[in-house]
Every structure is written in C-alpha cells, then in structure tokens.
Amino acid sequence: MRRAALAAAACAALIVCILGSGAHPSFDVRALAAFARGVFPPDLSPAFLGVVGAAIARTLGIALAGTALSIVWGLPLGILATPSLFRRGPLVAAERFGALSAALAAASLATRALLRFLRAVPDLVWALLFVVGFGLGPLPGALALGVSSAGILGRVYADLFEGVPPAPVVALHAAGASRMQVFAAAIWPQAAPSVAAYTLYSLECCVRAAAVLGFVGAGGIGGEINLSMRLFEYGQVLTLILAFVVVVLATDAASRRLRGRFQRNAVHGSSFLRGPVEGYAGRRGVHVLLWIALGAIAFQQAGFLGIAAPGLLGRFARFARQLFPPDLSGAFLGSLLEPLWQTVSISVIGTAIGIAVGGALALPATATLVLDRRDPPGFLGRAARLAAYAGSRLLLAMLRSIPELVWVLLCILAVGLGPFAGALAIGLHTAGVLGKLYAETLEEVPEAPVEELRAAGATRLQRLLWAMWPQARETLLGYTLLRWETNLRVSTVVGLVGGGGLGLALYNNVQLGFYARASTLVLLVYLLVSVTDWLSDRVRKPVVSAEAPPPSAMELVTAASGTPAAP
C-alpha cells in the first residue's frame, strides 16, 4: 500500500507541476530544421580547430586548477569536520571538556555546515557570482569549481577519515599520541588511497563542470558553444560538442585507470604515503614533477596570472560587500514564489520525461532481455535485436554525454525560451543517465527466478514483468529519486541560460546589479536543495535499505556534486 501511495503522490505531483508550471509545449519546427541543416557538416577548418584546441586547454586548466584549489581548501576543512577527531568517540571521550575542546567541537560543527552550504549552491551559481566579482574569463570558473568542489571533497574526506578501521587509532591514542599525531600516523595512512581515488574522481567531475561554466562567462569550451550558438554557427557547435564528448570520455578513461590503481593498493593494504605498489615507487619523483608542471600550466591557463592585476581584489571585495545584507523584504520574497515553483516543476517534469524516455530506451538496451541466445529468435531476427540493442545503447550514451545546459541551448531552438526548454533539456539528459542505470539494474537482477519462469513457459516480456521488474523496482526507484535530487539542483541553474525558474531570476538580478537580491536567491537555492536532500533521504532510506546496500561513498560524491557519475 505504501507503494501505491507513493505512486499516486508522484503522479499527482507531476500533474500539478504540468498544470502550474506555465510551460506551454510548442515546437518551432522551422528553427529546428535550420539547426539540423546547419549542424552538418561540422566546422573542421584549421582556424576553428585552433579555437577548439585552445578552449579545451583552458577547460582542462580550469578543471585542474579548480581541483587543486578544492584540495587546498577541502583537506583542512575535511579534517576539521571529522567528528571522531573533535566531537565524539574514543579520542575525545576521556578529554577534560574545557573551553578549547568546546571551541573546537563548535568549529567542527560549523565546518560541516559550511561544507554543506558550499556544495548545495550549484557551481554555476558560484561561477556567476565570481564572474561579476572578477570579470569575464577562466579565473572565476576555476575559483567557482574550487569552492563548490571543496564542499564535496571536504565532506567526503571527513567521511573517509571517520570510516577508517578504529583499532590502530585507539591503540595510538592509548599510547599517548596527540590527536594530530593520531591523524598523521593512524588515520591518514589508512584513508589515503581512497582519498586519492575520490580526489581523482572529483577531477573528472570538474572537467565535466568546467565545460559548461562558460555559459555564464567563465571561459572554456562552454563559452565557445554559447558564442557559436548566438552567431548561428551550428557547424561549430557540433564540432565543440564532439570535442567536449571526446574530452570527457578521455578523462573518464584516464581517471578510471588511475583510480583502479589506487583502489587496488587500498585492497593490498599499501598506503599512498609509502607509495603505491605497482610499478610506481621508482618513478615517483618524476610523477611529482609532472603533476607540478601540469598544475603550473593549469593555473596559467585558468588565468591566475591576472589575479595580481591592480584593483582586481579590491573590485571583488566591493562586490562581495554589496551582497550583504540579503534583501529579505516581503515584496521581494513574495515575487520569488513563482520562480521557486517553476524550478520545482522543471525538475519534476524533467525527471518524468527522463523516466519515460529512459525507461523506453532501457528495454532494448537490456542485454539479458534482448540478446538472450538460448531460444530461437522470435519475429525479430537476431540481427534486428542486435541492432536495437546497439542503437539504444548508443542513443543513451549520446543523450547523457551532452550536459543539461548544452541541451538547454539546443532545446531553446526547438521550443523557445522558458521553463519548458529547461524541463525538456533536463529530461533528455536524465533519459540518458536513467536509461543506462535502468538497463544495468535489470541486467544484474538475480537470474534464478527469471530462469524458473522461463522453464514454466513464460515469454520474455512476462519474465520482465513478473521476475525482473519485481526484483529491480526498489533499486530503480532509488536511482530515480537520486536523479530527481540532482535534477532539482540543475533546475535552479537552467534559467541562467534561458530555461526559466530561479536561475532566470538570479541572472536578471545580477545583470541589473541588484546584488542584495542575488544573495537572497542564492540562499533560497541553498534552502531548496537542502530540503530536497532531506526529503529524498527520508523517502529513499526505507525503500532502498530494504534490499540494496547503502549508497557507497562514491554515490555520496555523485549525489553531492550534482554531476552525472555515469560516463
């Protein structure tokens, strides 16, 4: 009955959102046709390829510099936010609770709150604020990534430090080691391989994120896409999107290889401090030099040389002062109800589109359903089945490899500015992500019950309905809710590029110089995201914990970053 209630509530929410969102679906077929004609062939002229190359270099620079900043920030914050170091557990239990301990405990709690704030505000919003403060260019992009990704890394670091096997920690403490000595000798060595792995994963997410920061003027490949769109140079747009996809795939592959090595080392019990075991120790110095050189190039690409320019920091300080105090007047707050509602609607409608399209594409993409070779093929031959499988997998990969914000630009062409473009864009990207997750969940369902139904004469579709779906549905619901949470974050920013909702209000107020209002909006986004996290947690926990294992730290990162984990 709980399930029926949940389904009814979801349907009701969707209907209310569709009716109340002010999204009027209308397709501009002509504009879409012009786009389709313009896209081919992609612009591969040497001059433009040079532009693409420079944009990629700058994007990677932004991502790398942003990650470096977020480590510098996130590591101390993560240590401070670790409960077992400052607030509870064996290290603190015997301590006399003096003024210093109290202050540290309070600071630790405050740090957790700060980290939550840093990661709840979307990176694109940070980028917009930094662009206003520092001017156009890659520098605000790197700073924005540094801030938002520090919020994620700090939290994950704290979780990793908290989760190390406690025996060595307790032993060292009992031998009289101080808290920081315990950290250095017992906690860090145990957590280091995972810390390295998650940091790399975070770099991967930053590359994805860096590519779209350009939409608000923070440089990189997104800026070029935006520019080419505005100039109706659709051939260039296609080249840029393809280049972006290649960059993302290459980063994924590289990061997965490196991460695999760290994780293997974690299993083998070797620590990062002593150097990973596999063919690494001898070349360690070279690697360090390589990373330093790479970092230097990254910071140069991200425009950090300009930070010393006279007046720049002063300019930013002046802007930051204008953000306070936030405008909390009744009239302004009242005017925010509509965009707030629109944002929620965009996320709900977008997720619904994603479920429908992704679900439809997931069925042909499920190998165990389509490519089962044990029975003679039905009315579809084997070749047709294989084609459907490959085609749907390819389509899903395409849908999810293009970020939501790029989809917004494309959707604006088809349906015009406004919330519907935002919802459609989120829906298309979500379809790619959910479709893949759905297909993989269905493929991984325990086989024995499915096989028993096959033995009793059930068809493929009957096996899907009666054995695969019942076994998968809890996991599918969990993924979908997690995705909705992510989509709510995204729906607060689709407005920055013309997709309606809170993002649009934020963009307008920033453009008009109403910075006190902008900071109110940032607070509102923070509140909205926090409430959703809490809500989704409440719904998800009883549902998911019944069957699936609790989300891994990697899923926490994914959930916290609002960036698709699925490549």
Closest to other proteins by CB, 177 or 371:
371
Distance, in Å, from the CA atom of 140 to the CA atom of 507, rounded to the nearest integer, reads: 16
Q: Interface with other proteins by CB under 8 A: which range of 176-184, 288-296, 309-317, 374-382?
A: 374-382
**514 in contact with other proteins (CB under 8 A):** no
Q: Which of 319, 332, 466, 514 binds other proteins (CB under 8 A)?
A: 466
**267 in contact with other proteins (CB under 8 A):** no
**454 in contact with other proteins (CB under 8 A):** yes
**452 in contact with other proteins (CB under 8 A):** yes
Q: What is the CA radius of gyration of the chain?
A: 25
What are the residues whose beta carbons fall under 8 Å from the beta carbon of 140, sequence distance 6 or more? 127, 130, 131, 133, 134, 217, 218, 219
Sites for other proteins among residues 129-158 (CB under 8 A): none
Q: What Cα–Cα distance (Å) separates residue 411 from each residue in 79, 224, 422, 507?
A: 43, 18, 8, 19
Q: Which of 374, 383, 542, 550 binds other proteins (CB under 8 A)?
A: 374
Q: Interface with other proteins by CB under 8 A: which range of 63-71, 120-128, 348-356, 371-379?
A: 371-379
**465 in contact with other proteins (CB under 8 A):** yes
| Residue whose C-alpha is closest to residue 448's, from 464, 462, 465, 467 | 467
Q: Which of 94, 175, 267, 448 binds other proteins (CB under 8 A)?
A: 448
Distance, in Å, from the CA atom of 408 to the CA atom of 386, rounded to the nearest integer, reads: 32
**301 in contact with other proteins (CB under 8 A):** no
- Per-residue binder mask for other proteins (CB under 8 A), 472-511, x = binder: -xx-------------------------------------
| Residue whose C-alpha is closest to residue 214's, from 146, 93, 302, 106 | 302
The sign of the dihedral angle between the CA atoms of 326, 327, 328, 333 is: negative
**370 in contact with other proteins (CB under 8 A):** no
Q: Which of 455, 542, 550, 552 binds other proteins (CB under 8 A)?
A: 455
What is the SS3 string spanning 216-278? HCCCCHHHHHHHHHHCCCHHHHHHHHHHHHHHHHHHHHHHHHHHHHHHHHHHHCCCCCCCCCC
Extract the tokens encoding 137: 């260019």
Q: Which of 45, 335, 462, 545 binds other proteins (CB under 8 A)?
A: 462
**444 in contact with other proteins (CB under 8 A):** no
Closest to other proteins by CB, 77 or 370:
370
CB of 438 to other proteins, least distance (A): 17
| Residue whose C-alpha is closest to residue 196's, from 253, 256, 272 | 272
Interior angle at CA 409, CA 408 and CA 412, nearest 5: 80
CB of 442 to other proteins, least distance (A): 14
**Amino acid occupying residue 307:** I
Closest to other proteins by CB, 332 or 466:
466
CB of 455 to other proteins, least distance (A): 5
**37 in contact with other proteins (CB under 8 A):** no
Closest to other proteins by CB, 178 or 462:
462
- Cβ neighbourhood burial of 36 (10 Å; 0-12, 13-18, 19+): exposed
- Cβ neighbourhood burial of 33 (10 Å; 0-12, 13-18, 19+): exposed
What is the SS3 string spanning 11-23? HHHHHHHHHHCCC
Distance, in Å, from the CA atom of 242 to the CA atom of 77, rounded to the nearest integer, reads: 37
Extract the tokens encoding 391: 């085609």
Closest to other proteins by CB, 278 or 452:
452
Closest to other proteins by CB, 51 or 458:
458
Residue count, binding to other proteins (CB under 8 A): 27
Q: Which of 456, 534, 542, 552 binds other proteins (CB under 8 A)?
A: 456
Q: What Cα–Cα distance (Å) separates residue 42 from each residue in 39, 45, 241, 400?
A: 6, 9, 10, 20
CB of 548 to other proteins, least distance (A): 12
**380 in contact with other proteins (CB under 8 A):** no
Distance, in Å, from the CA atom of 369 to the CA atom of 442, rounded to the nearest integer, reads: 9
CB of 146 to other proteins, least distance (A): 45
**540 in contact with other proteins (CB under 8 A):** no
CB of 378 to other proteins, least distance (A): 5
Closest to other proteins by CB, 5 or 93:
5
In the complex, the residues that contact other proteins under the rule CB under 8 A are 374-378, 446, 448-449, 451-459, 461-462, 465-467, 470-471, 473-474, 547
